[in-house]
Amino acid sequence: MTYPLASSTWGKEELDAIQGVIDSDMYTMGAKVKQFEKEFAEYFESPYAVMTNSGSSANLIMMSLLNWRHAWSGKDIIVPALGWSTSYFPIVQNGMKLNFVDIDPNTFNIDPAKIEEAITPNTKAILAVNMLGNPCNFTAIKEICAKYELILLEDNCESMGAKWNNRYCGTLGLAGTFSFFFSHHIQTMEGGMILTPNEEDAHYMRSLRAHGWCRDLPLDDESLYKRTGDPFYDSFTFVTPGYCVRPLEMSGAVGSEQLKKFPKLLWTREQNKKYFEELFGNQPWARMQTEHERSSWFTFGLVLQGVLKGQREMVINHLTSAGIQSRPIGTQNMMRQPVMNRLGSMCVPNANRNYDGANDLHENGFMVGNHGNLDCKEGIFRMFTEMRKLI
């Protein structure tokens, strides 16, 4: 592979961290996860962090919180027409409806200009999905939230380190989620995190994460349940309709090591982006994702235009044969995914709305890798040369 989509950012430190867990013979969620949660919350200047076994589980716990603690069942949430499958599924799994709004075909994120027409009397929130590292237009989104009394939620699984108005994405609303899957900014094998400014929401999510019990909550917390003081009962008292989506201790231990490397990993991604922009930044045949405030450049998204518009299959085949790996951008237009045939009644009717932005990416968009520990100049140059042959 000349230019792969993702690569490992691990070194000896991560292997030592795993060995430390093996030596302790304590594999299930414990002190290492707690330590990583603390470090993560501090790094992103958020009061509370709850780690899960994936970013998808983080979304599931966030939406379950809204269903069970905030009683949103039957309400609808504004979502972008392009995101990730598990940005959407936890919403319907928790009895809430998807209210699709088109994306801006340049930033790839929800188009704020199209949000207001979608709001219904049942709309409770806007789920901002920061795509490929790029912050949504939170200035406009926050104004709409304030005007219609909507709650802001963030799926920040692709955008660790991105900033809006000098604040980290994932900390801007009631809760924000992160993913630490292999291709992401930090890698803990599988893993995810939820940040929230609200202590009682954090406690509720800790209970949802682990069987619905109250064992992992501070002893003096009575927000969910007043314990008896007898561990025989208190350890097996179930107070929320929970799951088991706990992370492994090894993921917590690796997370702490990866977080130390994160500033350097982000810096490298930004250097790669500068070179990518030099070559692809101003071409009539493809456009790069437009950065909004400060992106953390998860991958490089391109949309074919001009002479290459409508030619994606040919372009992808050519790049693949040159050893350049590519992927569709997220779900593309989620409403065009076969699963939607099963979700009809869980969507707010939207036949009169326009989804041109999501459709453009569905037909003409793709992404290639960015890397936290690799200078990708050679791969980027090769890709540029190969694409030029097609003009």
Q: Summarize as ranges the residues that interact with ligand PLP (CB under 6 A).
A: 54-56, 59, 83-84, 86-87, 129, 155, 157-158, 179, 181, 192
Say which residue the tokens 């890709």 belong to: 383
Question: Could you say which of 70, 184, 185, 292 is catalytic?
Answer: 184
DSSP-derived secondary structure for 118-157? G--TTEEEEEEE-GGGPPP-HHHHHHHHHHHTPEEEEE-T
Which of 155, 360 has the CB closer to ligand PLP? 155
Instruction: Give me the least distance between CB of 173 and ligand PLP, in Å please.
Output: 15
**C-alpha 314 chain-centroid distance:** 30
Which of 217, 252 has the CB closer to ligand PLP? 252
Which of 59, 240 has the CB closer to ligand PLP? 59
Instruction: Give me the least distance between CB of 79 and ligand PLP, in Å please.
Output: 11
Q: Is 211 a catalytic residue?
A: no
Closest CA to 82 of 382, 360, 370, 376: 360
Amino acid letter, 186: I
Distances (CA, A) of 262 to 175, 205, 268, 340: 22, 26, 10, 37
Instruction: Give me the least distance between CB of 127 and ligand PLP, in Å please.
Output: 10
Which of 239, 266 has the CB closer to ligand PLP? 266
Instruction: Give me the least distance between CB of 56 and ligand PLP, in Å please.
Output: 3
Amino acid letter, 4: P
DSSP-derived secondary structure for 86-120? HHHHHHHHTT-EEEEEPBPTTT-SB-GGGTGGG--
Q: Which residue is nearest to ligand PLP (CB)?
A: 55
Query: How many C-beta atoms lie closer than 10 Å to residue 355's C-beta?
Result: 21
Counting Cα atoms < 13 Å in the Cβ hemisphere of 310 gives 2
Residue 123: helix, strand or coil by DSSP? strand
Instruction: Give me the least distance between CB of 86 and ligand PLP, in Å please.
Output: 5
Which of 65, 129 has the CB closer to ligand PLP? 129
Q: Which residues are catalytic?
A: 184
